[in-house]
Amino acid sequence: MPNNERMHARRQILKEIIEKKEGMGDMMKKCFFSLTEAVYSAGDSVKHTISDNVETATIKVNGGLDNVAGVKIPKVGTRMALP
């Protein structure tokens, strides 16, 4: 693989990492605000109420690593759980 192709691949990987990190920050803000709303509405016991009333998860999170050009990149995905 020529050097310019390696540099291009590296830039693409770094660009993707930055985009994912920025997106994760926005998502965490939304999640925290949603939790705050739920706690305000239902009280501090909302976590226990949710845990007690849910039998199985609707959405499952998969984690892993991708090896791209010798660089291990975290890979996170979601899937719908089958009933």
Cα–Cα distance, 33 to 54 (Å, whole number): 21
Domain tally for the chain? 1
Q: pLDDT tens for residues 16-62?
A: 888 888 888 888 888 888 888 888 888 877 878 877 887 777 778 88
Residue 72 belongs to domain spanning? 3-80
pTM value surpassing 0.85: no
